[in-house]
Structure 1
Amino acid sequence: VEKVFASLPQVERGVSKIIGGDPKGNNFLYTNGKCVVIRNIDNPAIADIYTEHAHQVVVAKYAPSGFYIASGDVSGKLRIWDTTQREHLLKYEYQPFAGKIKDLAWTEDSKRIAVVGEGREKFGAVFLWDSGSSVGEITGHNKVINSVDIKQTRPYRLATGSDDNCAAFFEGPPFKFKFTISDHTRFVNCVRFSPDGNRFATASADGQIFVYDGKTGEKVCVLGGGKAHDGGIYAISWSPDSSQLLSASGDKTAKIWDVGANSIVSTFNMGSNVLDQQLGCLWQKDHLLTISLSGYINYLDKNNPNKPLRVIKGHSKSIQCLTVHKNGGKSYIYSGSNDENDGFSGKGHTNQVSRMAVDEMDQLVTCSMDDTVRYTNLSKRDYSGQDAVKMDVQPKCLAVGPGGYTVVLCIGQIVLMKDKKKCFAIDDLGYEPEAVAIHPGGGTAAVGGADGNVRLYSIQGTSLKNDDKSLEAKGPVTDLAYSHDGAFLAVCDANKVVTVFSVTDGYAEHNVFYGHHAKIVCIAWSPDNEHFASGGMDMMVYVWTVSDPETRVKIPDAHRLHHVSGLAWLDEHTLVTTSHDASVKEWSISY
């Protein structure tokens, strides 16, 4: 794999999002779905994705040694895995309690781990990393524990924060409950010790931040003298020198505090939209990061609090489709999902995008579950409203051809469009259309049906005519594509087979390709017209040679634990894949 385009953090309103830091200072960590995403903090385009959890992951943190990462999921599983190798080998797996893990912390020697969350009979555990044997008890709360931290200097101390509006203070090891701190009036969302261990701070939904002595737990001050923010505070992070604190709030701001002087150093206004609420933050070396409810990752600029240095955008929901477009010699990858993203200005589809293609006029044509077909001008990169065409029923697939034609498959209906206008529709099909392709020379549209047949239609002026010619696939058709030279039509089906028909021989069956272990969902031809790729529910991608079904390149586990949802070629040796894991991957193929 050449490149991985990672997904954004998965966030939900009113819930803190933890960003994990790297003790070496190079990377940061967050979770999306079943994935842990590791990104380079200086160049976030460099990313790695860990996909071995069977359930949604909530939190991931590096051990202070930097050699291991511990990640916890909604089922209560904690996995500890290697960071030094590409394979991320699993070292240990534990189930400290049954229920969602919400936070975890390591001791500075990387030997003990505290885990907290929503257990049934207990809300936390602290144990040795290599044996799982207990090194204390996390007691003192009667509701979900949201946050935990351990003082990184001896003598060890541990602090927790809970939905019971309290924080708790522990001494150890073995860790024993010392006392409850009831200064907050709402949920305690985050507790963090300063790196030097002299202080710890608690942040709450009541908009307050309290600071305590790290060794004794005695209250030192309340930041700002009262409320630190106008909204709930979801996360705090100390500066490396322990003198300042970064806070992230639902009031759509982040603030830097001088803790010793108890004063605000800067206030970062992140916007006025509800999606600009700040749910997470990380202060690492000179980088100040926050996470917005939009999923965007913001790099704050101390010198200009009203404009971040940079904002990382992308997909945070599963990707359904993609296409590739060459523009001025450069290839651009467009991927479709149902989240807002960055490449375009204006209003896009309001629901999941199911199919996309680029036509001769450099327009990205997309159809979506919001019942529209949209034409987006790629040179302007603008979602313009006048180019959204409403369909009678939900569209699920489309193909573009020369001459301004688009054929759209809706549920139980085929629609022909020319120059962005509907000009013809066929109802009463007698079968359910699933996939469509237009011959590169124009004139013919091939429509694959759920009944296992491909029917050919000719495009004549402003009408579509059924040619009464049908080709048999080996099962319900899931996708089909013409080679770029128009010589072959490849059809993939739910019975795990790809059938290739020779267009020049009157669509005679040319070859059949077996190899997938589950339903094949997408297919794409290489620009060389001799190879094509198929992706399936078996998480596999195969690259086939049209003249020889035995010669194939196999990409196993292309997107681990998530099936492949889209394929496209950048050039004869570069394939791009997308998946429901919300990532886009670029592969180098050699035969």
Structure 2
Amino acid sequence: MASPFKQVALFAPTPTTARGVSTKLSANKDKIAYTNGKTVIIRDLNTPSLATAYVGHVQNTVVARISPSGYYCASADVFGTVRVWDTVGEDNVLKGEYKVISGRINDLEWDGESKRIIAVGDGREKFGHAFMFDSGSSTGEISGHAKAINAVSIRHQRPFRAATAGDDGLIVFHQGAPYKYDKTIRTHTKFVQDVRYAPSGDHFVSVGSDSKVFIYDGKTGETVAEFTDSPHTGSIMAASWSPDSKSFTTSSADCTVKLWDVETRKATTTWTVGAGVNNQQVGNVWARDADIVSLSLSGDLNVFDARAGSKSARVITGAQKSITAIAPSSSTTFLAGTADGRVIEYNSASGEATAVQGDGHTNIVVGLAAVPNGKVISTGYDDKVREISGGSFARGSLGTSAQPKHLAAGEDGTAFVVEASGVEAVRDNQKVATLKTTFAASAVGVSKSIVAVGGEDQKVRLYNWSGTAFTETGVLENNKGVVSALAFSPDGSLLAAGDSSGRIVLFDVKEKKMITARWSFHSARVNSLAWTSDGKHCASGSLDTHVYVWSVDNPSKNVALKNAGPGGVNAVLWVAQGKLASAGADGCVRTWEIKL
């Protein structure tokens, strides 16, 4: 039997970054691989919505590298585990899982035959391990460092060589295979952040926190030269080579990316990526013939064309932290708010993502709601209500009297902000009314002149909204936990109320009575509810990672999207008839075609 749903696109998050830490990126043809939380992302540089999210790790991942053959990916986490998995096919079949060191892995590298892997990092007994990818058996010893190893690179031609770089300021040169210590290279005076072999195997390059760049002979490890022309002024976090091995690029915390010519030993191009901490460059990789991808601390991926001189970059953006709220912004776009206060606009047709500009939130975005005139209201844990229109935050904001928990908006442009002590009604950046409640309010929904407020006492109260004041008109009971999500059907006749026990109760609003409580397949808190435009189906997203699409006409019938969002689904939204977007803890937005 054909599945009633299929995933049609994945809008990937950007890489996880940390200040002062080199972030490793890798590339294979026009795809790049990186990590975000527990997820490994392989994304297509040409088609943004063509991305793969691998979710096999149970701990936060640090580095992922695709094998030279392109068939496998090796990814590593903060607890020293390496997983090797199949990149061909949708199932990402696991080929092997190996515990290689007793701490965080900072980098790993495949040899040229796609058979051996060296993983390095910060272990207790040792800082690196060389092993066969299919059996995990040792293939040499990585030694010579006294502190954590930050990077490793392997010569892809025989005779194999490997270079490792560490926090002890040393580069250790290994012969292989099996790999064994050959010599220590003492060129840098501070942490060595990255070391990379040229595809030809003739040279390798090292960069570090001392802002220095050195090049070495690939076979012997002898130091060839230091590159001193127009140097970086900050720590150099990453280096990568062009496919022809004639040039390489470096990314630095001074917010610049430089392209170096190996023969002349000069910097031929310098790109400046803005200013300030968020634009510090912490990683890079050379993809395809001329695409240089450099990573900003903010998570943005800057794609430079090596042939185009110092022209500005194409920027690939997305959520870097978990997505906490979602709302439509036009017929083809929707907004997603994140746990770090950013709001991203996604185009469901092209797959492009752009960051909403302007003075935004500084903390978790807890609610987004569309109002007429193409505006979207947002609120967050910074206790502010803001307006978004035309891809940017409007100037000015409105402070709330307590921390917001939830948000909904009506057709008259009024936004209702839930706080612990009640609900504030906001319109045009002005408070128009406040509803003080005797119960702890937890969720809100609105339809025309009716406002529904859910409480921690497991009840939903209905209020009539006059435009300036609230009048209570009834109480709905039957939920079995804190009411966590409320949504009216488009015509306002039905109200779905989800709670912390995973139960969704469907009410008739006019009659103020329960229609069904059979929408109860979730096993944890219901975070979001969304109705189809015809009011016949309602989608729910839950902390239990699942999404369900429920039928009003047949309450016992549902479409189950199991494990739709690892870590929990925080938001669901119908972006078109039969097309659902879900987003959550892993920072991914997935869109699904549902047969209703």
TM-score normalised to structure 1 length: 0.95
Report the AA paired with residue 371 of structure 1: D
Runs of 4+ in structure 1 deviating by more than 4 angstroms, as ranges, are 303-306
Query: In 1, are the aligned partners of 2:269 and 2:310 still within 8 Å (CA)?
Result: no
- Give the residue type in structure 1 aligned to 2:571: G
2:425 paired residue number: 416
Asked whether 1:385 is paired with 2:403, we answer no
Cα drift, residue 339 of structure 1: 4.4
Q: 2:232 aligns with which of 221, 224, 229?
A: 229
| Residue 117 (structure 2) aligns with | 113
1:281 pairs with 253, 278, 284, which one?
284
Matched residue type, 2:281: Q
Residues of 2 paired with 1:256 and 1:178: CA distance? Answer: 30
- 1:302 paired with 2:306, answer yes
Partner letter of residue 246 of structure 2?
S
Report deviation, 1:306.
Answer: 4.2
Residue 584 of structure 2 aligns with an amino acid whose one-letter code is S
Deviations 1:281-314 (A, max 9, x none): 1112221111111111111133555443411112
Using the alignment, how far apart are the partners of 1:209 and 1:493 within structure 2?
A: 57
Deviation at 1:553, TM superposition (A): 0.5
2:476–2:512 CA contact under 8 A, matched in 1? no
Q: Which residue of 2 aligns with 1:580?
A: 585
TM-fit CA distance, 1:344: 2.9
Structure 2 equivalent of residue 26 of structure 1? 30
Tell me which residue corresponds to 1:148: 152
Of 102, 114, 123, 1:98 maps to: 102
Is 1:536 paired with 2:537?
Answer: no
SS in 1 for 2:556: strand
Pair 306,475 (structure 1): closer, same or farther in 2 beyond 3 Å: same
Greater Cα shift, 468-477 or 352-361: 468-477
Does the aligned pair in 2 maintain the 1:454–1:472 contact within 8 Å? no
Please, which moves more after superposition, 516-525 or 48-57? Answer: 516-525
Equivalents in 2 of 1:345, 1:99: separation in Å? Answer: 39
Further displaced range: 47-56 or 466-475:
466-475
SS at match of 2:412: helix
**Partner in structure 1 of residue 142 of structure 2:** 138
Deviation at 1:493, TM superposition (A): 1.0
Contact 1:223 1:259 (8 Å CA) reproduced: no
- 2:349 aligns with none
CA positional deviation for 1:573: 0.3
CA distance in 2, matches of 1:370, 1:80: 41
1:434-445 correspondence to structure 2 within 5 Å? 434-439=442-447, 442-445=448-451
Contact 1:37 / 1:49 at 8 angstroms: preserved in 2? Answer: yes
Equivalent in the alignment of 1:519? 525
Letter in 1 for 2:250: S
Q: Deviations over 1:124-181 (max 9, x none)?
A: 0101111111111111000000000110111111110000000001111111101111
Distance change in 2, residues 1:357/1:502 (3 Å):
same
Aligned residue type for 1:90:
L
Answer with 466-475 or 291-300: which moved more.
466-475
Once the two structures are overlaid, the 10-residue window that deviates more, 114-123 or 40-49, is 40-49
Q: Which residue among 414, 419, 441 is the counterpart of 1:433?
A: 441
Residue 462 of structure 1, CA deviation: 1.1
Superposed displacement of residue 457, structure 1: 1.3
CA distance in 2, matches of 1:258, 1:58: 30
Deviations 1:193-221 (A, max 9, x none): 11111111111110111111111111110
Q: Is the 8 A contact 1:511 1:546 kept in 2?
A: no
Q: Distance in 2 between matches of 1:510 and 1:128?
A: 57
Output the amino acid matched with 1:360: P
User: What is the aligned partner in structure 2 of residue 549 from structure 1?
Assistant: 555
Which residue of 354, 359, 366 maps to 1:354? 366
Q: Which residue of 1 aligns with 2:8?
A: 2
- Alignment-mate amino acid for residue 263 of structure 1: K
Q: Which runs of 5+ in 1 are unaligned?
A: none
The answer for the alignment partner of 1:54 in structure 2 is 58
Match runs of 1:421-500 below 5 Å: 421-427=430-436, 429-439=437-447, 442-500=448-506
Could you tell me whether the CA contact under 8 Å between 1:512 and 1:549 is conserved in 2?
yes
Does residue 213 of structure 1 match 2:213? no
Change in CA separation of 1:570 and 1:114 when aligned onto 2, cut-off 3 Å: same
Partners of 1:189 and 1:203 within 8 A in 2: yes
Letter in 2 for 1:334: L
Q: Would you say 1:248 and 2:251 are equivalent positions?
A: yes
Shift in Å, 1:355: 0.7
Q: Which residue of 1 aligns with 2:350?
A: none
CA gap of 1:343–1:199, structure 2 versus 1, over 3 A, is closer
Amino acid of the residue matched to residue 126 of structure 1? A
SS of the aligned residue for 1:414 comes to strand
Give the aligned residue type for 1:384. A
1:479-511 Cα distance to aligned partner (Å, 9 max, x none): 011000111101111122111011232344445
Q: Which amino acid aligns with 1:431?
A: F
Q: Residues of 2 paired with 1:27 and 1:565: CA distance?
A: 28
Gaps of 5+ in 2: 1-6, 345-353
* 1:82 paired residue among 82, 86, 89: 86
1:372 aligns with 2:388: no
Question: Matches of 1:79 and 1:500 in 2, distance apart?
Answer: 44
Match of 2:410 in 1: 401
Q: Distance in 1 between matches of 2:47 and 2:8?
A: 16
> For each residue in 1:357-388, what CA deviation from the matched residue of structure 2 results, as whole angstroms up to 9, or x when unmatched?
111232101111111111222xx3331223x2
2-structure distance, mates of 1:191, 1:143: 16
1:335 aligns with 2:347: no
Residue of structure 2 equivalent to 1:262:
265
Distance 1:493 1:163, change over 3 A: same
Q: In 2, are the aligned partners of 1:81 and 1:91 still within 8 Å (CA)?
A: yes
- Asked whether 1:63 is paired with 2:67, we answer yes
Question: For the residues of structure 1 that align with 2:259 and 2:482, how far apart are their CA atoms?
Answer: 58
Does residue 1:17 correspond to 2:23, yes or no? yes
Quick check: 1:191 aligned with 2:195? yes
Q: Calculate percent identity across the aligned residue pairs.
A: 37
Distance in 1 of aligned mates of 2:46 and 2:369: 34
DSSP-derived class of the 1:39 partner: strand
Structure 1: distance between partners of 2:587 and 2:16: 10
Deviation at 1:468, TM superposition (A): 4.8
Decide whether the 8 Å contact of 1:399 with 1:406 is kept in 2.
yes
Partners of 1:127 and 1:336 in 2: how far apart?
42
Matched residues in 1 for 2:323 and 2:561: separation?
19
The letter of the residue matching 2:402 is: V
